[in-house]
Chain A
């Protein structure tokens, strides 16, 4: 099955490195949040970032989307150093789709307009074409009847699916998902995970921060464990979850297990 048949918005990508994070440091004032992060992501891979609250997962994703300026190191995106001062960060962001924990849909715009805003106003896609594609994505994920609604009429799960579609509509080469199910009632988590599963199946390159260990185990090519701004351990899910090498990883997984999230 070809990737584009499954989801036409997923760009065909040649095998290779999509993202390489090299020695990235980031501080907020005295708070040294990222302390030398190195991470490589190949096309079609799904990387799951796990780690305790405050370990720097969100900050790392925001740095990749250039929503934060890094203090040291560099980030290479499809061969281009996007942290170089001369880079037009807007053009970079147009190739990266980001989804936030709190959805952040635009409350004053209907669902359809939420999705078409960036294609039309940032990419210059004709309105009719953008709407057609938005409708086909909404249909694809069972939300076609919500196109004319305002976001606050939707359930949290529906809003988050719209937010994913909105990010997909710019045809990103990489998707960053920051704990996209954490703000949802438990019974709504599944519908959002289904969407992500489909994206993975379609070959979308993704980095996601998540607290859903079961899901990470199922979907991840590699799981990356962060603690205090450093990558403690990374590996295939089976290895990392079943035979963690580092004592800190074992301690973290133990706590998660106790909390019943696995």
Chain B
């Protein structure tokens, strides 16, 4: 038993070293390696880009990331709310809500089908061009968040819907037979059972939302990490700023990804043990 366990650890360590070593060797020994390293991985440039220097005309990628985090946090809350509304409309049975249901279906189809970057461009440049009061006079930050919310709500509403549909109809029937009002049955019977199905895919979606905040860079006016890196590279003609941005995004998304895996594993263990 011990022998094989130890053997497995040694094997996996060796194979990891071989694979990583191979990748590093290919990178270092490649003909253009020096060039790439100085353009993408220059330590001095990376540090410069991270800190930023307003006098030299470029912004801090590190500070830019704070804006990404802001967009993520605000967007996340709005997405959770809007997606829930869309999902509940789609799940409703009332004939009165038929037109709303059609709109919700069209909404989800549309925003799941259109690439996010096009939504950001359409909202960020389209709304201001309309010269409407209020709607056209918001900051690029607001348009960026709005685009993220519109697009991601479509995905997240589907995550909710799958979760609600995973609760057997017999659960609803017994809640109804006890005289619970639909809202009470939803709150105490359906929702708590649906949440368990919803959480893992929801967190996965948020991992990708975290990095997609970088797409708001196309609006130019929001100096988030990606845009700061872009400005740096066009000022100094060195791409190391992008590398910094990539590293920062990884630092942001990896913990959430690991947390998601942890929840999935724990839920699986509980299911196998038969404890809710």
| B251 part of interface (Cβ distance < 8 Å) | no
A166/B178 contact (C-beta < 8 A), A67-B173, A100-B170, A104-B171 known: yes
A106/B177 contact (C-beta < 8 A), A100-B170, A122-B184, A150-B276 known: no
Question: What residue in chain B is nearest A98 (Cβ atoms)?
Answer: B177
Q: What string of 1s and 0s marks CB contacts (under 8 Å) between B247-276 and chain A?
A: 000000000000000000000000000111
Tell me whether A122 and B177 are in contact (CB under 8 A). no
Q: B48 to chain A: which residues have CB within 8 Å?
A: none
With both chains docked as a complex, state the minimum distance between the C-beta of B163 and any C-beta of chain A, in angstroms.
Answer: 13
Counted as pairs of residues, one from A and one from B, with CB atoms less than 8 Å apart, the total is 66
A91/B192 contact (C-beta < 8 A), A100-B173, A104-B171 known: no
Q: What string of 1s and 0s marks CB contacts (under 8 Å) between B167-182 and chain A?
A: 0001101111111110
| A234 part of interface (Cβ distance < 8 Å) | no
Tell me whether B179 and A106 are in contact (CB under 8 A). no
Q: A96 to chain B: which residues have CB within 8 Å?
A: 177
Tell me whether A91 and B276 are in contact (CB under 8 A). no
Tell me whether B177 and A150 are in contact (CB under 8 A). no
Q: B171 to chain A: which residues have CB within 8 Å?
A: 104, 106
With both chains docked as a complex, state the minimum distance between the C-beta of B202 and any C-beta of chain A, in angstroms.
Answer: 18
In angstroms, Cα B174 to Cα A102, docked, is 10
- Contacting B at CB under 8 A, from A93-116, are 93-98, 100, 102, 104-108
In angstroms, Cα B188 to Cα A152, docked, is 18
- Contacting A at CB under 8 A, from B48-88, are none
Contact of A94 among B179, B193, B275, B276 (CB under 8 A): B179
| A216 part of interface (Cβ distance < 8 Å) | no
A90/B179 contact (C-beta < 8 A), A117-B188, A121-B184 known: yes
Tell me whether B189 and A106 are in contact (CB under 8 A). yes
| A179 part of interface (Cβ distance < 8 Å) | no
Question: What residue in chain B is nearest A65 (Cβ atoms)?
Answer: B177
In angstroms, Cα B171 to Cα A104, docked, is 6
| A170 part of interface (Cβ distance < 8 Å) | yes
| A167 part of interface (Cβ distance < 8 Å) | yes
Question: What residue in chain B is nearest A151 (Cβ atoms)?
Answer: B276
In angstroms, Cα B175 to Cα A118, docked, is 8
| A153 part of interface (Cβ distance < 8 Å) | yes
Q: B181 to chain A: which residues have CB within 8 Å?
A: 90, 122
Q: What string of 1s and 0s marks CB contacts (under 8 Å) between B103-140 and chain A?
A: 00000000000000000000000000000000000000
With both chains docked as a complex, state the minimum distance between the C-beta of B120 and any C-beta of chain A, in angstroms.
Answer: 39
Tell me whether A102 and B170 are in contact (CB under 8 A). yes
In angstroms, Cα B175 to Cα A153, docked, is 21
In angstroms, Cα B181 to Cα A174, docked, is 20
A67/B192 contact (C-beta < 8 A), A100-B170, A106-B171, A107-B276 known: no
Q: A104-B171, A152-B275, A170-B179 are in contact. List 15 more A-B contacts (CB 8 A).
A: A93-B177, A94-B178, A94-B179, A98-B174, A106-B189, A106-B193, A107-B193, A107-B276, A117-B180, A118-B179, A121-B188, A122-B178, A122-B180, A152-B276, A166-B178
Q: Which positions in A face B, CB cutoff 8 Å?
A: 65, 67, 90-91, 93-98, 100, 102, 104-108, 117-118, 121-123, 150, 152-153, 163, 166-167, 170
* Nearest 8 Cβ contacts at the A-B interface: A94-B179, A118-B178, A104-B174, A98-B177, A93-B179, A122-B179, A104-B170, A108-B192
